[in-house]
């Protein structure tokens, strides 16, 4: 039992390191304007918004991941691989963010960005389902599992809708992405506690 806990702790620590790398790479992509006036910042608004949303998304993912790790017993090989896939997709976020910011929220980059959110969310949903399936019902009630599943499907539907809308209206699609993040601000879905 003790070795299983160490393995779960190692999985959590490794994941924390990857989230830290993603945040670091994200911040390193930010470039200051050449001019020394505040008015030089105004044209960078798409950059600011893109990076703020990506930072918020990584923070939300980390908080929810950290919350889920409390319920991990001995990690299965499937859980470890799902975690790797999830983390790999998170590491693509700085690239997608730079593309969205550099093109000032153009259609193709926002479609790619939303598509990446879809992929990250799918990987997280599989990870979440695996963790909750093995969690004791004393730790996570059946109602909490249903609410978490429903919330995950709603967010996935919003990200998918954002991707489709971004083909014709990228700024509206980007707004949908921002709206979907609200659903995961708290690790436990509203009404999921006993």
The string of pLDDT tens digits covering residues 162-187 is 999 999 999 999 999 999 999 888 87
Q: Is residue 74 assigned to a domain?
A: yes
Q: Is residue 136 assigned to a domain?
A: yes
pTM here is 0.89
90 neighbors 19 (Cβ within 8 angstroms):
yes
Q: Is residue 194 assigned to a domain?
A: no
Q: Give 1's DSSP letter.
A: -
Tokens of 118: 């879809």
pLDDT tens digits, one per residue of 84-134: 999 999 999 999 999 999 999 999 999 999 999 999 999 999 999 888 888
> What does the angle CA 76 – CA 82 – CA 88 come to, to the nearest 5 degrees?
140
pLDDT tens digits, one per residue of 25-83: 998 887 888 888 888 888 888 889 999 999 999 999 999 999 899 888 888 889 999 99
Q: Is residue 192 assigned to a domain?
A: no
Domain that holds residue 95: 2-28+44-184
Q: What is the pLDDT of residue 194?
A: 43
Q: Is residue 35 assigned to a domain?
A: no
Q: What is the pLDDT of residue 3?
A: 56
Q: What is the pLDDT of residue 6?
A: 60
Q: Is residue 176 assigned to a domain?
A: yes
Work out the average pLDDT over 10-21. 94
pLDDT at 193 over 60: no
Q: What is the pLDDT of residue 46?
A: 87
Query: In this structure, what is the dihedral angle of CA atoms 69, 70, 75, 77, given to the nearest 10 degrees?
Result: -20
Query: In this structure, what is the dihedral angle of CA atoms 171, 177, 178, 180, given to the nearest 10 degrees?
Result: 150
Q: Is residue 193 assigned to a domain?
A: no
Q: Which of 22, 24, 95, 109 is nearest to 61 (CA)?
A: 22
pLDDT tens digits, one per residue of 129-159: 888 888 877 778 888 888 888 999 999 999 9
pLDDT category at 160 given cuts 50, 70, 90 is very high
Q: Is residue 34 assigned to a domain?
A: no
* Number of separate domains in the chain: 1
Which H or E run contains 5? helix 2-28
- SS3 of 121-145: the string is HHHHHHHHHHHHHHCCCCCCCHHHH
Distance CA 123, CA 86 (A): 5
């Amino acid at each position: 039992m003790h070795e299983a806990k160490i393995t779960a702790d190692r999985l959590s620590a490794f994941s924390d390191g990857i989230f830290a790398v993603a945040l670091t790479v994200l911040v390193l992509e930010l470039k200051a304007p050449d001019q020394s006036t505040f008015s030089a910042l105004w044209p960078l608004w798409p950059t600011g918004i893109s990076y703020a949303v990506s930072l918020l998304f990584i923070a939300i993912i980390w908080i929810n991941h950290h919350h889920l790790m409390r319920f991990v017993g001995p990690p299965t090989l499937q859980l470890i691989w799902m975690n790797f896939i999830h983390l790999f997709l998170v590491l693509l976020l700085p690239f997608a963010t730079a593309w969205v910011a550099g093109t000032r929220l153009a259609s193709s980059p926002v479609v790619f960005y939303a598509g990446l959110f879809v992929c990250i969310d799918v990987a997280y949903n599989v990870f979440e389902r695996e963790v909750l399936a093995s969690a004791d019902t004393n730790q996570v009630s059946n109602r909490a599992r249903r609410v978490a599943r429903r919330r995950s499907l709603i967010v996935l539907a919003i990200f998918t809708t954002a991707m489709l809308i971004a083909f014709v209206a990228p700024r509206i699609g980007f707004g949908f992405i921002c709206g979907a993040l609200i659903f995961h601000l708290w690790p436990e879905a509203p009404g999921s506690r006993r």
